[in-house]
Structure 1
């Protein structure tokens, strides 16, 4: 899709864009993310004046956040993801992602935040909430491009809690995997808790949550306690979370099954 057509499509979906000097990341004179527009005629005029402009996206106008993973120094992208994961900063991958001309990645998420950006959150990772350059812009002859062709701006996920904390001036908890267990081996409950925290993405969400709710109820905890935890598990460890109505349906179904089992045993 040509840049002009793409820019107009974004504007039609309420995303604000702004023009950049061709083959660079620099805004055209008197333009910036603060003057970004979704006016179709104005955007069309930009391209009529200079057909090869690059495109910037105002993240703040759409409550978008970009996790910018840099590859300027030939970084090992996988090792950066592992570093984030080791510190408890999980990045759901089934969201819209673009590859930068240098081979880095821009992962897009949704969320309301107060800060515009955090540079060097960890080495080679910046958190952006003000603006970013987007596909199909070209820098030094190489283009930004989507790496997951089945995903679009309509499939951007909600930001994980740690990302919102980092951009809202709240302390970001770090949970390192470097701790070495010296006592007993991990018990069944520990394995189940690890499974919950690992979470689940879009595939099999209902089945996964049903399994976790069944375990919570089987512990003998008060139903109100199990329900509260189930709701939190859904919010924090399922991407995207299920609707509350679906969680309620799952919970009620398991409670009925457990009640039926109890009645049969009591006969």
Structure 2
């Protein structure tokens, strides 16, 4: 397990790289990857994120077959990283809740922020030490998901295809301080102390540009 530092360094080194190059460098750095449908998030392999590997030969074969495949990375113990996924949709404003959690000291310690094609944000943290798993969960009413054990994330420079355009995941900011694990259970309790049944979200194309501006404003406000 390479961990978050190796992952972040590859993102920095491959900002202008093509998908096969980034996939190969992640695997070489010890970060397991697997291919997803071009322009989408669905795995291309039979067992999904369970097929993720650091074997350079297998990664080369996958991206030789599907050169436009998006890059998936399993979260949790498999990769050494977890993600707080901030979303904005008609039912919730994830940025507002992420900010509240940040002021409460619950989301500080991220290592890198990535802007997502829908106008949201992925905040990356190192996995907590010890053997206890941090399972993935959703706080739908707050517009925030946690991607830990049993989940996966799509990483830059992957692209999501909408009806009118294709939008990439982009490295937005790198922290200037050492990262710290996030208290996933404490964050969940803060966001959703009385979990309610999940509701269906709608995938939106229009309006995502405004949400990208939200990310830029949020980052700028924090120096």
TM-score band w.r.t. shorter chain: 0.5 to 0.7
Q: Tell me by how many angstroms 1:127 deviates.
A: 0.8
Q: Call closer, same or farther: CA 1:22–1:173 in 2, change over 3 Å.
A: closer
For 2:169, the equivalent position in structure 1 comes to 144
Determine the C-alpha separation between the residues in 2 that align with 1:151 and 1:82.
Answer: 16
Aligned equivalent of 1:126, options 145, 151, 167: 145
1:27 aligns with 2:36: no
Determine the C-alpha separation between the residues in 1 that align with 2:46 and 2:178.
Answer: 30
For 2:156, the equivalent position in structure 1 comes to 135
Determine the C-alpha separation between the residues in 1 that align with 2:90 and 2:109.
Answer: 23
Matched position secondary structure for 2:88: coil
Q: Structure 1 segments of 4 or more deviating over 6 A?
A: none
Aligned equivalent of 1:52, options 68, 77, 81: 68
Higher normalized contact order (CA 8 Å, seq sep 6+, divided by chain length): 2
Q: Call closer, same or farther: CA 1:30–1:50 in 2, change over 3 Å.
A: same
Matched position secondary structure for 1:56: strand
Contact 1:72 1:102 in 2 (8 A): no
Correspondences of 1:72-151 after superposition (within 5 Å): 72-73=89-90, 76=93, 78-85=95-102, 88-92=104-108, 95-112=111-128, 113-120=132-139, 123-129=142-148, 130-140=151-161, 141-148=166-173, 150=174
For 2:5, the equivalent position in structure 1 comes to none
Q: Call closer, same or farther: CA 1:173–1:98 in 2, change over 3 Å.
A: closer
TM-score for the superposition, normalised by structure 2? 0.65
Matched position secondary structure for 1:147: strand
Structure 2 gaps, min length 5: 1-16, 192-223
Contact 1:64 1:110 in 2 (8 A): yes
For 1:43, the equivalent position in structure 2 comes to 59
Q: Call closer, same or farther: CA 1:63–1:92 in 2, change over 3 Å.
A: same
Q: Call closer, same or farther: CA 1:70–1:135 in 2, change over 3 Å.
A: same
TM-score for the superposition, normalised by structure 1? 0.55
Correspondences of 1:92-241 after superposition (within 5 Å): 92=108, 95-112=111-128, 113-120=132-139, 123-129=142-148, 130-140=151-161, 141-148=166-173, 150=174, 157-160=179-182, 162-163=183-184, 165=186, 172=189
For 1:65, the equivalent position in structure 2 comes to 82
CA RMSD of aligned residues (A): 2.8
Q: Tell me by how many angstroms 1:26 deviates.
A: 0.3
Q: Call closer, same or farther: CA 1:138–1:156 in 2, change over 3 Å.
A: farther
Contact 2:109 2:179 in 1 (8 A): no
Contact 1:111 1:164 in 2 (8 A): no
Structure 1 gaps, min length 5: 175-267
Determine the C-alpha separation between the residues in 1 that align with 2:178 and 2:47.
Answer: 26
Determine the C-alpha separation between the residues in 1 that align with 2:126 and 2:59.
Answer: 24
Matched position secondary structure for 2:62: helix
Quick check: which has more Rg, 1 or 2?
A: 1
Matched position secondary structure for 1:97: strand
Give the structure with the larger strand fraction.
Answer: 2
For 1:204, the equivalent position in structure 2 comes to none
What is the total number of aligned residue pairs between the two structures? Answer: 165
